[in-house]
Amino acid sequence: MNVLVPPIAALLATAASLIPATAPAAEPAQLLAGYSAQAGAPPVAERGRQLFTSRHGREWSCATCHGVPPTQPGRHASTGRTIAPMAPAFNPERFTDPVKTEKWFRRNCNDVIGRECSAAEKADVLAWLLTLKP
C-alpha cells in the first residue's frame, strides 16, 4: 500500500487558513492615512467637525450620543448605554482595530446620515478627532 501523506507543515498551514485572522492593531494615524489614500485627497478636520455635529436631515447627529466635544463619555440616545470618549487622546483604545472601526462607522453613518460614510468623510471625522487634545 502506497499512501502519500502530506507533510505536517502543509496540514498546519491548511488548518491555520481555516481560522479567521484577527485584525492587527493599528494607530489612529495609520487608519487616517488609509482613509485619506482611499479618498485620494487629504482630510479636512473642519469638515469632519461639521459632519460630526450636524443632523443631516435625520433625528440624530454623531454628537447626540458622543457629545461635543467627544472627549468625555457619551450616552446612547435610545438605550442610555454609556459610550467611551471618541477622541483618541481621551480613549487610547479608539481607532486601534480596523475591523471595529469599520463596523462602527458603517453602523453609525447609516443611523446618522442614512448611508455608509465615504472614505473622505471617515478621514475628515478622524482628522478632527485627532485634533482634540487634553
Q: What pLDDT does residue 94 have?
A: 94
pLDDT in tens, 49-107: 999 999 998 889 999 999 999 999 999 988 999 999 999 999 999 999 999 999 999 99
> Burial letters for 24-55: b for 16+ Cβ neighbours within 10 Å, e otherwise?
eebebeebbebbbeebeeebebebbbebbbee
Domain ranges of the chain: 26-131
Question: Cα–Cα distance between 109 and 115 in angstroms, integer?
Answer: 6
The domain over range 26-131 is classified in CATH as 1.10.760.10: yes
- Asked if 73 and 91 touch (Cβ cutoff 8 Å), the reply is no
